[in-house]
């Protein structure tokens, strides 16, 4: 991530995920599924890159809130995703319980699933997922490379450490009025 940056790492991970889902969607041989699974391992860099990007673009006192929101959204998607894609599999008439084994070279007669005969492509639900990742990729293109919060903080002096206790108390009193639960207490 250091050499290509957080945003480009997110884009790279989403690109691998899109490629993997499209490969699952168009793949028809067992070796293709295993190869697409290897590509899926490369897409696992996306969430750590998103977390790093968020930590660089949020205020130091808002890190926990931002990371908690992202982790909460991820948990919600991990819970709702299987239900949504179960419905998507149902819409495209994909039945995973009735898979027909791949015939060997000795078999002369090949039995085909009647639902599978009418299918144009083998995995429409995976292509639906690839389109969803494409939308996420397009949103990620608009992520700014560098945040402007660090220059604003230094210019405003909000987080600067002052050696003069009088100015420190003035800043603290204005913070107490706005955020009484987030104030620093000195012992």
Digit-by-digit pLDDT tens for the chain (187 residues) are 577 888 999 999 999 999 999 998 888 888 888 888 888 888 899 999 999 988 888 899 999 999 999 999 999 999 998 888 888 888 888 776 655 565 666 555 555 554 445 455 668 888 999 999 999 999 999 988 776 654 445 444 444 444 455 545 555 555 555 555 555 555 5
CA dihedral (29, 78, 10, 127) in degrees, to 10, reads 40
Annotated domain spans of the chain: 6-101+116-147, 152-180
């Amino acid at each position: 991530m250091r050499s290509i940056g957080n945003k480009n790492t997110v884009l790279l991970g989403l690109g691998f995920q899109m490629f993997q889902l499209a490969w699952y969607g168009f793949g028809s041989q067992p070796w293709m599924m295993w190869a697409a699974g290897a590509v899926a391992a490369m897409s696992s860099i996306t969430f750590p890159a998103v977390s790093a990007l968020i930590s660089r673009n949020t205020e130091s006192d808002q890190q926990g809130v931002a990371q908690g929101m992202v982790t909460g959204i991820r948990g919600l998607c991990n819970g709702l995703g299987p239900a949504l894609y179960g419905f998507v599999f149902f819409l495209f008439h994909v039945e995973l319980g009735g898979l027909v084994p791949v015939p060997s070279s000795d078999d002369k007669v090949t039995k085909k699933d009647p639902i599978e005969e009418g299918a144009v492509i083998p995995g429409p639900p995976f292509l639906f997922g690839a389109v969803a990742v494409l939308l996420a990729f397009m949103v990620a293109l608009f992520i700014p490379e560098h945040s402007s919060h660090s220059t604003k903080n230094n210019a405003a002096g909000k987080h600067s450490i002052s050696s003069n206790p009088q100015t420190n108390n003035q800043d603290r009193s204005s913070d107490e009025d706005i955020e009484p639960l987030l104030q620093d207490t000195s012992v």
